[in-house]
Amino acid sequence: MAIIVNLDVMMAKRKISLGELAERMSITPSNLSILKTGKAKAIRFSTLNNICRLLDCHPGDILEYVPDEPEADGATQKLP
């Protein structure tokens, strides 16, 4: 996957536990854990906004784009 979730890094910088952040966001710790471990398929902007507000950070501090390695047969192409 080309999107890396750095939520654990920001939580460590802000010295906040998963349980505490989940409680402040009014979501279950298991749902937040799915996001933290990068297993989530999507995130709502409202959830990302809430995380950024509570951790005093920007979306780019939480989500990072890392390009996939090109496939040997050249199947991965950039848009014009």
For the chain, what are the domain ranges? 3-62
Look up the CATH number of domain 3-62: 1.10.260.40
78 or 19: which carries more pLDDT confidence? 19
Confidence of residue 52 (pLDDT cuts 50, 70, 90): very high
Give the per-residue pLDDT at 75.
Answer: 57
Cβ–Cβ under 8 Å, residues 65 and 2: yes
Give the per-residue pLDDT at 2.
Answer: 85
Q: CA nearest 22: which of 5, 42, 47, 41?
A: 47
Confidence of residue 53 (pLDDT cuts 50, 70, 90): very high
Give the pTM: 0.79
Rounded to a whole number, what is the distance in angstroms from the first to the last CA of the chain? 22
Q: What is the mean pLDDT of the chain?
A: 90
